[in-house]
Structure 1
Amino acid sequence: MIVEKYSLLPEYNLATIFAMDNILSTQGIMVMLLVAYGLAMWTFLTNAPKVYTVMVSDIKIAQKFYEGLLKLNAADIPLHYYYTPTKNISTPATVDPLHMSVDYTSMGGMDMDTKYGLWYQLKKNTQLHIISGASYGYNNRQRHVCFDNHCLKTILLKIQAKRLRYKVRCKQPLNFLVKDIDERTIEIVEVKN
């Protein structure tokens, strides 16, 4: 008895799959474009730097601290991070009002160089974005507020590497004090959501 093999799908071999007329068809071109787009997006997103944001009481004093004392290099704004800061700052309901200024979206009185914040290269593929918005601390202390513990630990390591005077007040959430060039006390605080 002879048994015949039947298949509902036609048999394809590599020659028919990669035939020139299949590749140059509308479907073939669309598949190639989608694959190229996917590879381009994957490359772009894997090479995009990690960005940490720190809100500060006074952006000019913060600039002296991060550039003058910590010697961080200025960085370009990453392409994936273009936005208007006043639209993306957390609302007062999600942030402890103790750390936020009364008018947290105000950018008045700033020149164009600092209006959208300062950008620094923190590590090879990590950037630090400094924006205004934090309230002053006890005795008009400069306050730097961040939501990310890893960011503050990295800043603390930079402070330790520069042998600056500092004092860790609390480890969870991280809170420490450091003196700037003009002997002002800067309080760096992690805010928990």
Structure 2
Amino acid sequence: MRAIEPADGRKPRASHIEAVDSRHVTQMMEQLQQGYIKSVAATAGLAVEIVPVDVYGYDVRLIRPPRDHMDEESAVLAQLKCTTQIVPDPSRESFSYQFTKRQYFDHLVKPRKYPKAILIVMTAPTRQADWTEVTHDGLWTRRSCFWVSLEGVHADPSVKKPSVRIPTRNRVDANALANILDKIDRGEPLND
């Protein structure tokens, strides 16, 4: 497949993807990962706020309502990334993800009091038409999202595009999101 030049003059970011329309594939990848996160968060009883302006490197805020009216809500910020170039092997402990810009990494590694922040990486098939499948049993999203906390992780300052290891056991599902927020409520580190 050969990518076409978008009308606005920008080069398509994902020329290796068999896209429905390569001019908009990056936006479609964003929609796919937001849909996944919103669905899983709904299952966990969480609200999802899309961060409309990417100033601080976060795309969504996941919020759990207070358990009683005198408690505070719990929240975690997440930077969302979607890639078609990784197929995590569940028999391996982790997979590698490389940031496209140093600043995305830097936002996630700094120590934070509250709210904490995580990286969520979604892996998707290279053929856009295979991203989802609808059957009588439901909507199936191909591949998964994985999360990691990078707080306190160090990379040599000269590295422009740092790579990080993401544990394959850290799939994003309703239990994982609840556990992340439970740890935040207890003041425990997320990167254990």
Which TM bucket (shorter chain)?
under 0.3
Higher helix share: 1
Q: TM-score, normalised by structure 2?
A: 0.22
Larger Rg: 1
Task: For CA contacts below 8 A with separation 6 or more, give which structure has more relative contact order.
Answer: 1
